[in-house]
Amino acid sequence: MKRWLCVWALLTVCLNGSGAERTVEVRSPDGKNRFVLLCSSEEIRYEVWCNGFRVVSPSRLGFVFDCGAWGDGLELGRIERKRIDETYRLVVGKVREARYFCNAARIPLSESGPSARRIDLEVRAFNDGVAFRFLFPQQETWQRYVMYEERTQFNLSGDPEALVMYLPGYVNTHEGPYVQVGLDQVDLARLIELPATFRYPGRLYVSILEAGVRDYAGMYLMRGAEGFEARLSPKLGQERIKVVADSLPHRTPWRVLSMGASMEVLLRSTILTDLNDPCAIADTSWIKPCRTTFTWWNGNVVPDTLFSSGNNFETNKYYIDFAARHGIDLHGIYGYAETPWYYDDNFNFGNAGPHADPTRPIPCLEMPRIVAYAREKGVGLHLWVHWRALYPKLEEAFALYEKWGVRGLMIDFMDRDDQEMIRIQEEFLQAAARHKLFVQFHGSSKPSGLVRTYPNEFTREGTMNYEVSKWSDAVTADHDVSIPFTRMLAGATDYHLGGFRSERRSEFRPRYINPRVPVTRCHMLAMYVVLENHLTMLCDTPAAYERAPGFEFILEVPATWDEIRVPHAVFNRYVTVARRKEGNWWVGSLNNGERRDLTLSLDFLDEGVDYLADIYLDGSDADPGSLQRIRRIVRRSDRIELPLAPDGGAALHLKPMNNH
């Protein structure tokens, strides 16, 4: 790790008009991005600039606490400045090594008088965005707080196109469709999930996110009369209290604007992990992204000629054998139908009963026998569990799972990101690390870069995905294409991938057992590359996969990466992502519902190296379940034509010839 810190000159202080307004500016290392603080005797505001274009017009900052509002009549203290240039490694992520490179400032802001409260504004200006947060230092006159409101505002300039998701309330699954509208058409007074992404045609892409959400409430946006206003998830059971700090120091998460002339800048950015703390797990050698079955999606289907599916040993043996045959690392156990694998007195999959106990497997499951058989076959176990059943028995349950040889957990149905739930999620990650378990959060809010601190978090849901194909036609190729421009900017995205029974969109009908997907086989293969996800799920049945073209692709595609490139990205229409793992490149191209032809330049390959290209293209017979597999030798100077069917895609694996 390298780190250079240097103190650099104080920036300009300006006097404007008859009232004194101090202007504090922080520029990115390349000088293109600027954060400007405007501090007058009446209020504090900020602006954000990119390449001479004002992205955020003067926008309010401030808070409302139990002891009164803060943000008026403030005095600036001595500003501390530094440059950060640091490289760090990610145990799991979209890159192996990241560079944390920015200019930084810490700006003390204090009220006047004997009971003055001080809050510091911390700013980071990167070449691909800006970020700021508030620090509450220890002080004699203010020892704790109850926060009613964070008054951060984002008053975007002009009329960019917006890609946003509305939510019905703070307690929700954090799933839904994204709508693409002009800024002035974004609904007023509706809750908007982050990330929210905006396009200034021909000029700029901007996404509003947050990083380092710890011991605080999750942030949303709401469009008001002047712009977007921050809304914090309230303490459960009431609306007024958002955050409680029983002692100081304390801090907010980072408020982030990721910005660039192309979507590639945003997709390659590591701002969120940059702004999180270094890895808190001393020994990470056991953290290995992997593949898992997940039988809930397909309905626990087994061959009729063998036995009845259910919460039993034989069903799990069938899937363990499938995993062992194909080198799939894990078998996922959740239960059967609406019944978990453990004792639960509620008999409802989504609501744990008061006496639910995830240390007591139901007898018919024969868990000791499953554990022994999986160990014999060299297949690990991956358990589903309701968070409410798990939390009271955290240490006891995790110790038992470690003893069983369980590798990881899907923790489900949190559906909140208030301060309490944010704390609980971090407790899950800490306890899981002590017992060498990875965590997959379902029914959860978005990530915020905490994978740097706790790399045993492999993925999160917080995305409408193919699980809904069991009961709805809401997830289409159009929705899939929206995810890289929105939710994926926050981090790993769990999507219930692997549906191998494709139907035309016009013929698609939801099925709870043996569901179909309204996209082509190549579109599904490409999803494994385009989406960042460190737990590769195979949700369909063994019969759907075995001897099916393309199955070999998902058995080989990595789940963590060294490098990312984005050859194509057109807002809500199509996207191509290229990812490198060691010397191999993997490419996925996703298309929406319109047929199109793309040309893929291979200029991301190494110069002077021949690559064996395995190319998967949509079938020419208009059958969404068919594909063409082509092999050819390619070099950096070559281009590959990608004919994309409606709801289609393309997938490639490029291997250096000296590896074969």
The backbone region for 242, taken as left when phi is positive above 0, alpha when psi lies in -120 to 50, beta otherwise, is: alpha
* Residue appearing with tokens 């955050």: 243
**Model pLDDT, residue 3:** 40
The DSSP bridge partners found for residue 65 are 68, 147
pLDDT digits (tens, 9 = 90+) for 417-456: 999 999 999 999 999 999 999 999 999 999 999 999 999 9
pLDDT digits (tens, 9 = 90+) for 350-408: 899 999 999 999 999 999 999 999 999 999 999 999 999 999 999 999 999 999 999 99
**CA atoms in the 13 A half-sphere facing the CB of 510:** 13
Token readout for 470 is 């069991």
**Model pLDDT, residue 249:** 98
CB atoms within 10 A of CB 475: 23
**Model pLDDT, residue 49:** 99
**Model pLDDT, residue 307:** 65
pLDDT digits (tens, 9 = 90+) for 627-640: 999 999 999 999 99
Domains of the chain with CATH codes: 3-271 (2.70.98.10), 290-558 (3.20.20.70)
**Model pLDDT, residue 530:** 99
The backbone torsions φ and ψ at residue 514, rounded to the nearest 5 degrees and listed phi first, read 50, 55
Judged against a pLDDT cut of 70, whether residue 659 lies above it is answered with no
The DSSP bridge partners found for residue 503 are none
Report the distance separating Cα 290 and Cα 408, nearest Å: 10
Region 567-592: what's the mean pLDDT? Answer: 98
* Residue appearing with tokens 């390449």: 51
Region 99-123: what's the mean pLDDT? Answer: 96
**Model pLDDT, residue 445:** 97
Instruction: Identify whether the C-beta of residue 390 lies closer than 8 Å to the C-beta of residue 397.
Output: yes
Region 646-657: what's the mean pLDDT? Answer: 98
Region 253-258: what's the mean pLDDT? Answer: 99
Region 523-538: what's the mean pLDDT? Answer: 99
Which of the two residues, 516 and 6, has the higher pLDDT score? Answer: 516
pLDDT digits (tens, 9 = 90+) for 638-647: 999 999 999 9
**Model pLDDT, residue 270:** 99
Judged against a pLDDT cut of 70, whether residue 2 lies above it is answered with no
Region 492-498: what's the mean pLDDT? Answer: 98
The backbone torsions φ and ψ at residue 375, rounded to the nearest 5 degrees and listed phi first, read -65, -40
**CA atoms in the 13 A half-sphere facing the CB of 462:** 27
Region 122-142: what's the mean pLDDT? Answer: 98
Token readout for 590 is 């996703």
pLDDT band at 4 (very low <50, low <70, confident <90, very high): very low
Report the distance separating Cα 344 and Cα 338, nearest Å: 11
**Model pLDDT, residue 306:** 61
Q: Report CA 361 to chain centroid distance, whole Å.
A: 32
Judged against a pLDDT cut of 90, whether residue 324 lies above it is answered with yes
Percent of the chain scored above 70 by pLDDT? 96
pLDDT digits (tens, 9 = 90+) for 16-60: 333 578 999 999 999 999 999 999 988 999 999 999 999 999 999
Q: Report CA 317 to chain centroid distance, whole Å.
A: 33
Instruction: Identify whether the C-beta of residue 614 lies closer than 8 Å to the C-beta of residue 652.
Output: yes
The backbone torsions φ and ψ at residue 317, rounded to the nearest 5 degrees and listed phi first, read -60, -40
* Residue appearing with tokens 């694996």: 653
Distances in whole angstroms, Cα of residue 537 to Cα of each of 292, 459, 546, 641: 5, 11, 16, 29
Token readout for 234 is 């309230």
pLDDT band at 622 (very low <50, low <70, confident <90, very high): confident
Judged against a pLDDT cut of 60, whether residue 5 lies above it is answered with no
CB atoms within 10 A of CB 566: 20
Per the prediction, the chain carries an average pLDDT of: 95
**Model pLDDT, residue 9:** 33
In the 3-class helix/strand/coil scheme, how is 391-436 assigned residue by residue? HHHHHHHHHHHHHHCEEEEEEECCCCCCHHHHHHHHHHHHHHHHCC
**Model pLDDT, residue 11:** 37
Identify the CA nearest to 257 among candidates 135, 152, 119, 174.
152
573 in helix, strand or coil?
A: coil
∠ CA 455-460-461, rounded to 5°: 175
**Which stretch of DSSP H or E encloses residue 223?**
strand 219-223
Instruction: Identify whether the C-beta of residue 144 lies closer than 8 Å to the C-beta of residue 248.
Output: yes
Report the distance separating Cα 91 and Cα 10, nearest Å: 37
**Model pLDDT, residue 338:** 80
In the 3-class helix/strand/coil scheme, how is 258-295 assigned residue by residue? EEECCHHHHHHCCHHHHCCCCCCCCCCCCCCCEEEECH
**For residue 169, which amino acid is it?**
G
